[in-house]
Structure 1
Amino acid sequence: MVNIDQIPEPLRNANNCQKDLIPGFDYSYGYRPSLAAGIVFCVLFGIGFFGHLLQSIRFRRWTSALLTIGALTDLIGWVGRTWSAECPYNENAFLIQIVTLIIGPVFFTAALYVLLGTLIAILGRKYSLISARMYTIIFLTCDVISLVIQAAGGAMASSAASSQTDTQLGTNIMVAGVIFQLVAMTAFALLSIDFVRRSAKFGMPAEYNKILIALFISLAAIYARSVFRAVELIEGWTGYLMEHEAYFIALDGSLMVVAVLIFLVFDPSQTLPRVDRAVDRKESAQMSDFSTV
């Protein structure tokens, strides 16, 4: 561990903005973050945030609200990385990005869990092995557990890294949270495939096709990103993946952009209200027919 007296004065202040590399003191990332990448991803996640925020206000759907929170979380993370591009030794910027970018996808998976549960609630219990209510209880509980584990581990690891102490405990906790999330997502993926199988058997309204396409594209993107982050963290803070930004841009930032923006192209909040009204009309008609018997 480095003695504090050996640390140059500009680095002793957590709010420093030392732009140039000081010999003997590498950046926390292992590289200087790209300013251009930071700006691009801030814009993309900003679009996702404001787009889903408007849909949340307009339709008041949980899926839109969760996607809004997730996009905001990733936006904050990329603001931190953009800040680091200009001030690569800044501890606050490093802490912001590592905590937010590790937990952001948790809100995206929560949106997927709620979305499939909503489809099952509308279509009926025969379309799923478990009820819509159980989807909410099981998978959102898993999401909360994953969120707490990853956030705690991220905070511990980033704090240790900035103070030049051992990051292994915090890193191990983060890995555990990511792996827990992967297990939950694997179970969800299997249940989603079963939902598609049953839909082919019992039939499904055509307007759901685009929702399912978006769900599986988003799920695949989040799953691939989680595998990458697990491998990256297992390698450690001085591992090859951790110290090469191109992998992070391609396998985290880009995949999360796909996961959130796909729902602006195929937005379930614009379809589900119409379907709800159709279901209500169908039920009313059935009640009317019953009353005439």
Structure 2
Amino acid sequence: MIDISRIPEPLRNPNNCQKDLIPPFKYSYGYRPSLAAGIVFCILFGIAFFGHTLQTIRLRRWTSGLLAIGALTELIGWAGRTWSAECPYNQNAFLMQIVTLIIGPVFFTSALYVLLGTFITILGRKYSIISPRMYTIIFLSCDVISLIIQAAGGAMASSAAGSQGDTKLGTNIMVAGVIFQLVAMTVFALLSADFYRRSTKFGMPAEYNRILLALFISLAAIYARSIFRTVELIEGWTGYLMEHEAYFIALDGALMVVAVLIFLPFDPARTIPKVYRATEKKESAEMSDFSTV
């Protein structure tokens, strides 16, 4: 633990904007964040937020709303990193990005849970081990728990890091939250694969398969990101992954862009009504054939 009285005055103020390194005090990140990366990701998540917000207003779908909230959370986080590029010691900017970027993917997984539950409702309970209602209760509850754990741990760790204190407790809490999220996603992935296996015989329109493919790609991106964050946090705040921004850009920022932007060209909010109408027509035709017999 560093004696607070020895910390230079510019670093004691959480609102400071000290740009240059003050040895032996490292930047809060272990490096000075890239301004270019911050701007690029703010633009990308801004596009995702605008697109999904527009769909939320137009079509009033839960999936669009959750994706929009997740994109906004990521946007705030990368705005914090952009701020940190100019003020790398600033504790408020550091807290702003670490809390939002650790919890942002929770909203994306929630959208995936709701999306699969919607498809089960449309196709029928026979294609799923558990009911759509149970998907909502079980997995959204897991997301809320994960969100609370990660946010609490992130706030504790960032506060300690900003004051050059011990980040171990907060980091351990964050790791627990991410691992809990990984377990929930693993179970969801297995159930999703089983649903896909059962429903492939149904003969749904091409839009159906495209949306399911987008779901699996998004889930894979979030899953890979969660593994990265788990390893990163286990290594600690002075670990190799934590102190090299390239890994964070590639294995967090870029993966989350894929997870949310893929649902702009393959938008479930537009496709689900089409799938529902196609299902109704198929069922009506089958009933008509049966009555003829």
Give the CA deviation at 1:17. Answer: 0.5
Question: Residues of 2 paired with 1:286 and 1:214: CA distance?
Answer: 30
Letter in 2 for 1:217: I
Question: Residues of 1 paired with 2:95 and 2:190: CA distance?
Answer: 35
Question: Residues of 2 paired with 1:43 and 1:36: CA distance?
Answer: 11
Residue of structure 2 in register with 1:56 after alignment: 56
Give the CA deviation at 1:7. Answer: 1.3
Residue of structure 2 in register with 1:271 after alignment: 271
| 1:106 paired to 2:121 | no
Give the CA deviation at 1:202. Answer: 3.6
Question: Residues of 2 paired with 1:176 and 1:71: CA distance?
Answer: 23
Structure 1 residues 16 and 77: CA distance shift in structure 2, 3 A: same
Residue of structure 1 in register with 2:154 after alignment: 154
Question: Residues of 2 paired with 1:53 and 1:287: CA distance?
Answer: 39
Aligned partners of 2:84 and 2:90 also within 8 Å:
yes
| 1:90 paired to 2:80 | no
| 1:125 paired to 2:125 | yes
Letter in 1 for 2:176: A
Aligned partners of 2:15 and 2:90 also within 8 Å:
yes
Residue of structure 2 in register with 1:186 after alignment: 186
Report Cα offsets for 1:38-75 as digits up to 9, x if no partner: 00000000000001000110110000000000000000
Report Cα offsets for 1:100-128 as digits up to 9, x if no partner: 00000000000000000000000001111
The within-5 A match list for 1:94-243 is 94-243=94-243
Report Cα offsets for 1:179-213 as digits up to 9, x if no partner: 00000000000011101110123433332011011
**Local SS of the residue matching 2:14:** coil
Give the CA deviation at 1:265. Answer: 1.4
Question: Residues of 2 paired with 1:113 and 1:282: CA distance?
Answer: 26
Aligned partners of 2:208 and 2:275 also within 8 Å:
no
Residue of structure 1 in register with 2:24 after alignment: 24
Give the CA deviation at 1:218. Answer: 0.2
Task: Compare 203-212 and 170-179 and name the one that shifted more.
Answer: 203-212
Q: How well do the aligned residues superpose, as a CA RMSD in angstroms?
A: 2.0
Residue of structure 2 in register with 1:245 after alignment: 245
Letter in 2 for 1:189: A
Report Cα offsets for 1:211-252 as digits up to 9, x if no partner: 011001100000000000000000000000000000000000
Give the CA deviation at 1:289. Answer: 10
Question: Residues of 1 paired with 2:22 and 2:39: CA distance?
Answer: 25
Question: Residues of 2 paired with 1:200 and 1:285: CA distance?
Answer: 19
**Local SS of the residue matching 1:241:** coil
Question: Residues of 1 paired with 2:284 and 2:62: CA distance?
Answer: 26
TM-score (norm 1): 0.95
Give the CA deviation at 1:12. Answer: 1.4
| 1:75 paired to 2:51 | no
Letter in 2 for 1:69: I
Question: Residues of 2 paired with 1:290 and 1:204: CA distance?
Answer: 20
Question: Residues of 2 paired with 1:123 and 1:200: CA distance?
Answer: 11
TM-score (norm 2): 0.95
Question: Residues of 2 paired with 1:194 and 1:170: CA distance?
Answer: 37
Question: Residues of 1 paired with 2:284 and 2:54: CA distance?
Answer: 31
Give the CA deviation at 1:24. Answer: 1.4
Question: Residues of 1 paired with 2:204 and 2:289: CA distance?
Answer: 24
**Local SS of the residue matching 1:264:** coil
Identity among equivalent positions (%) equals 84
Question: Residues of 2 paired with 1:284 and 1:103: CA distance?
Answer: 44
Question: Residues of 2 paired with 1:35 and 1:171: CA distance?
Answer: 26
Give the CA deviation at 1:134. Answer: 0.8
Structure 1 residues 202 and 283: CA distance shift in structure 2, 3 A: closer
Letter in 2 for 1:112: L
Letter in 1 for 2:263: F
Task: Compare 64-73 and 10-19 and name the one that shifted more.
Answer: 10-19
Give the CA deviation at 1:9. Answer: 1.4
**Local SS of the residue matching 2:27:** coil
Question: Residues of 2 paired with 1:202 and 1:289: CA distance?
Answer: 17
Instruction: Structure 2: state its 5+ residue gaps.
Output: none
